[in-house]
Structure 1
Amino acid sequence: MMRGRPSLRRRLLAFLAVPMLALLTLNAFLTYYVALNYSNRIHDRSLVDDTVSFAQMLDTMPLTGDLSPQARFLIEYDSEGHRYFNVQSRRLGTISGNADFSAYAPSQECAREEPMLYSGTLNDQRVRMATVCTQSADNPDDRLAVTVAETMADRRHRAQEILMITIPLMTSLIVCMTALVWFGVKHGLRILTPLTNRLARREGELTPISDADVPVEIEPLISTIDGLIHRQADMIAQQNRFIADAAHQLRSPLTGMGLHVEQALAHDDPATVRESLQHIRRLNERTTRVSTQLLALARAQAVPDTLQAMDLGTHVPDWVGSRVPDAIRAGVDLGYRSDEGPWWIEGNAALLQEAVDNLIDNALRYAGKGTTVTVGLDLHDFEVELFVEDNGPGVSAEVMQRLGERFFRAPGTSETGTGLGLAIAREAVDHMDGRIAYLHVPSGGLKVAIRIPRLKRP
């Protein structure tokens, strides 16, 4: 069973409604507690008043016998429960009563003049008791402890009545608050309407959507979307650049191959046909090289920034060794030089190998036969330098300024090339927060140095 789509409105209401219900429950408990406390205070005051009245009534009655039925009814009557009483003389003991108050011995505490309030248990019921001490009318030397106790039923009943009155009021308040929250959330989310309309009017634009009307609460989301749009725009720009570069670089060799094919078809002379085929082969090799270099440049531009610790001292010798056969065919002495490592950096081995291959390829192609090309490692402050140095003819200061531009080739050179090798190396090094420097060699030639921040501990 598929789950419904998430709703921001429902989520906001849930986050608000659940706490409000919890607060309603908590408020009900607090209301009952406050009401019970208030009921106890009112009943305690009434109990003391009744006890005082009872004691005053005893002053007009002889204490030689039990209370009259009328007096007992007045003191025992309670509409919600039952009342107990006890009259105890310090000298004569219990004179009258309807319950056993011996556990509380109120007559022993008749030194106090003010009424006493305390709780206890009579006949297995929780009761609240009030004791008033008074002088005996029959004997001035005797003191009476008049105690009246009532059950707690009436107190709890009054508290429940107060609670039943407040619950509908609180429920109505919660319902009204929920309606207001619903209205507020519904109309508050309309602040997103201008942003929605602005996006709906867009047609193929890849510009940031942040604006002054974007609410602060969704600014992180909009910033994330802007970042995604920026990356998408960069990717499309790279694709368009690749298409334009491919069209620019492949147009000439493809046109040349077409002309030589027409020439071969127009002549029956085997020598002319052979010459045309040789031209077609060279143009095909050039086309293959251009395609390979363009793909390498595209990979260097689009590869994700996945970096990991690596020791160049263990990688670079292998990369140089794999190019020795090419150096032998080109008549160049290719070697490797470095001090003791380790040479730790945070980089991408595939990208860095692509960069080194292109630098070695440029050196083998343009240094000339009989020259020496050295690949090595060195330290410069907090950077590791990976360099490719040759003792060839070098380049002029004007040409040095343009090295690394795409499709730029030094004028006057007889070697074929695409002008992409140094551009590929620069793109690869940029992914590792590195930089490329082009330097003149004192003895002649060119040194291309890749400098990457040094990683002290892998």
Structure 2
Amino acid sequence: MSRRRPSLRRRLLIFLLIPMAALLLLDALLTYGVALTYANRVHDRDLSDDALTVAKMLGNNQLGSELTPQARFLLEYDPVGRSYFSIVSARRGLMAGNGQLPRLAQAPPLGTAPRLYDSKLDKHSLRVATVRTTAPHDPGDSLIVTVAETLRDRHEQAREILLLAILMQTLLIVCVLSLVWFGVSRGLRVLDPLTARLAGRSHELTPIDGPDVPQEIQPLTRTIDALFGRLRGMLALHDRFIADAAHQLRTPLTGLSLHVDRARADPRPETVADALVHIQRLTQRAARTSSQLLALTRAQAAPLDHEERGLLDLGRMIPEAVAQRIHEAIRAGIDLGYEGVTRPLYIDGDAASVLDMLDNLIDNAVRYAGRGSTVTVNLQARADGGASLSVEDNGPGVPPELLPRLHERFFRAADNGEEGSGLGLAIVQRIAERHHAGVIYRLAEEHGLIVEVRFPPPSAAPMHPT
């Protein structure tokens, strides 16, 4: 069962809905708190007014043992039974009301506003207003009027306000999300020209960024353009490799075909033996050319990234690599040696690429210096913390005007009789560029050629060298 594809609209709605729901909950708490504060304020005012009204009616009464009907109706009327009152004489005690109603330890002074406070009765929370007034026929006596009510009406009113507010805010959120859905749907239509432009392409890898691309989408289009650039580079390397292979392998393959035809046309043993010698030499040449083409293609790749780059100790790698070529140099009649540092000397790079570079430098010197010559590999530390790797030979060298062309692919000096593909120094140049190193070609003091590769200093202190 296939998974449902992610939807940008749905994700936006979810990202908006969750914080809006949290805000709605927070707003509900705040609204309820504000509504309850407002209800408390209104009820406290009414409660104080009731206490003052009763006190005023008592002051105008020909007080006997009973309250006036108006005062009793005002105090006793409560259809749901949530109001309480008491009238207490300082001399005669409780005159009317609920005797269980809690009283203040100290009654408010005469002539002051009613005192409001919280209390409890039978586990019910009460809001109480108490006021003190003078008895009508006994100036020495005073009456304490206490009026109380439960908090139920206050909370009910706060809940009613909250429900009204929640209903309106929920409706507002639904409208906002609908507008967001509509706006996102309309806004995403700006991608239609980009989509049409991409759909209309066949094999083009040109940049897709343009003035009609929204700035929010530009990071994506620039990433795609960068990918297209890398693909163009890879395709260019592919095409160049095919062209180079066709260019370089045409001659040995043609020679192979000619010598095979010669051996078939003249089956004498000496003719076949001579043809096989030429076939072996041409086969070796084709194999070396193929390996160098592959090495050049690898060297022409993008600069080394952090995963490919490691800390290399050239002071250990280079002498070991030179030592492995000694026996081969002896068979070729070449005096191959090493001069330079023996202590650790670090650079950032890829070990396989650096060894491939050294092999091509040595191969180039051995091939073109000639039998009986001397080839010296030198490694020195530079003043800036980098490293200098050079290979010097005492061969015939090259004319000074040809030095700038030594790094070109398939370039070979015209007066050089040695067979070669002309790719060795091109590979060295490309590997050096991948390592942000420079290559310098110069003639030796007497005769011969020096190829020097200058590596930059490592980016970090050596800890775990490769």
Per-residue CA distance 1:370-407 (angstroms, 9 max, x = gap): 22111121122222001111122222111111011110
Partner of 1:153: 152
Q: Is the 8 A contact 1:110 1:143 kept in 2?
A: no
CA gap of 1:289–1:124, structure 2 versus 1, over 3 A, is closer
Is residue 461 of structure 2 the alignment partner of residue 457 of structure 1?
Answer: yes
Partner of 1:367: 369
Tell me the equivalent position of 1:123. Answer: 122
Which amino acid in the other structure matches residue 324 of structure 1?
Answer: I
Equivalent positions of 1:126-205 (< 5 A) are: 126-205=125-204
> What number of residue pairs does the alignment pair up?
457
The answer as to 2:291 corresponding to 1:292 is yes
Alpha carbons of 1:79 and 1:173: their partners in 2 closer, same or farther (altered >3 Å)? farther
2:438 maps to 1:439? no
Runs of 4+ in 1 over 6 A off after TM superposition: none
Unaligned ranges ≥5, structure 1: none
1:384 maps to 2:383: no
Distance 2:287 2:298 in 1: 17
Matches of 1:75 and 1:353, distance apart in 2:
106
CA distance in 1, matches of 2:427, 2:99: 106
Deviations 1:161-186 (A, max 9, x none): 22232332222222211211111111
**Alpha-carbon offset, residue 4 of structure 1:** 1.7
Supply the distance in 2 between the matched residues of 1:196 and 1:320 (Cα, whole angstroms).
57
Shift of 1:114: 1.7
Cα contact 1:110–1:144 (8 A) shared by 2:
no
Task: Classify 1:278/1:370 alpha carbon distance in 2 versus 1 (closer, same or farther; 3 Å).
Answer: closer
**Amino acid in structure 2 at the alignment position of 1:99:** G
Q: Does 1:402 align with 2:405?
A: yes
CA 252–340 in structure 1, closer or farther in 2 if over 3 Å, else same: closer
Report whether the alignment pairs 1:226 with 2:228.
no
In structure 2, the partner of 1:71 is: 71
Question: What is the TM-score when the length of structure 2 is the normalising length?
Answer: 0.92
CA distance in 2, matches of 1:41, 1:405: 93
Deviates more, 1:397-406 or 1:31-40: 31-40
Residue of structure 2 equivalent to 1:94: 94
What aligned pairs does 1:391-430 form with structure 2 within 5 A after superposition?
391-430=394-433
The residue type paired with residue 228 of structure 2 is: I
Closer/same/farther in 2, CA of residues 82 and 457 from structure 1, 3 Å limit: closer
Residue aligning to 1:50: 50
Alignment pair present for 1:60 and 2:64 = no
Once the two structures are TM-superposed, the CA of residue 81 in structure 1 deviates from its matched residue by 4.1
Worse-superposed segment, 155-164 or 5-14 = 155-164
Residue of structure 2 in register with 1:336 after alignment:
338
Please give the alpha-carbon distance, in whole angstroms, between the structure 2 residues aligned to 1:284 and 1:324: 25
Q: How far, CA to CA, are the matches of 2:276 and 2:170 in structure 1? A: 94
2:351 equivalent in structure 1? 349
Q: Which residue of 1 aligns with 2:234?
A: 235
Deviations along 1:84-122, one digit per CA (max 9) or x if unpaired, are: 112233444433321334542453x22561222112112
Inter-partner Cα distance in structure 2 for 1:138 and 1:275: 153
C-alpha contact 2:329 2:336 (8 A) present in aligned 1: yes
SS in 1 for 2:300: helix
**1:347 and 1:432 in contact (8 A); partners too:** yes
1:63 touches 1:95 (CA, 8 Å); kept in 2?
no
| Alpha-carbon separation, structure 2, partners of 1:255 and 1:405 | 25
Deviation at 1:353, TM superposition (A): 0.6
SS at match of 1:423: helix
Q: Aligned pair 1:319/2:321, yes or no?
A: yes
SS at match of 2:217: helix
Residues of 1 paired with 2:271 and 2:52: CA distance? 141
Residue pair 2:378, 2:390 contacting (<8 A) in 1 also? yes
Give the stretch that moved more between structures: 26-35 or 13-22.
Answer: 26-35
Counterpart residue number, 2:37: 37
Q: 1:64 to 1:102 in 2, by over 3 A?
A: farther
The separation in 2 between residues aligned to 1:421 and 1:87, in whole angstroms, is: 116
SS at match of 1:392: coil
Measured on the aligned residues, the alpha-carbon RMSD in Å equals 2.1
Residues 203-229 of structure 1: CA deviation (Å, up to 9, x unaligned): 111122222222222322222222222
Shift of 1:313: 1.1
Q: After superposition, where does 1:277-288 map in structure 2 within 5 Å?
A: 277-288=276-287
Moved more, 78-87 or 412-421: 78-87
Structure 2 gap segments, 5+ residues each: none
Report deviation, 1:431. Answer: 1.8
* Amino acid in the other structure paired with 1:386: L
Structure 1 residue 291: deviation in Å? 1.2
**C-alpha separation between the residues in 1 aligned to 2:99 and 2:159?**
28
- Tell me if structure 1 keeps the 8 A contact 2:100–2:121: yes
**Superposed displacement of residue 273, structure 1:** 4.6
Shift of 1:7: 1.4
Counterpart of 1:297, as a letter, is L
The 3-state SS of whatever aligns with 1:401 is helix
1:420-451 deviation per Cα after TM superposition (whole angstroms, max 9, x unaligned):
00011112222211121112222322111111
Amino acid aligned to 1:372: T
Q: What TM-score comes out, normalization by structure 1 length?
A: 0.93
Aligned to 2:10: 10
State the shift of 1:160 in Å: 2.0
Post-superposition offset of 1:29: 2.4
Alpha-carbon shift at residue 69 of structure 1 (Å): 6.0
2:172 and 2:457 map into 1 onto residues whose CA distance is 66
Distance in 1, matches of 2:292 and 2:98, equals 113
Letter in 2 for 1:226: D
Partner AA of 2:461 in structure 1:
R
Mapped partners of 1:332, 1:191: distance in 2: 70
User: Cα distance, 1:63 vs. partner?
Assistant: 3.8
Cα contact 1:120–1:128 (8 A) shared by 2: yes
Amino acid of the structure 2 residue aligned with 1:43: H
For 1:364 and 1:74, the matched residues in 2 are separated by 122
SS at match of 1:4: coil
Could you tell me how far apart the structure 1 residues matched to 2:121 and 2:271 are? 132
Question: What's the counterpart of residue 310 of structure 1?
Answer: 312
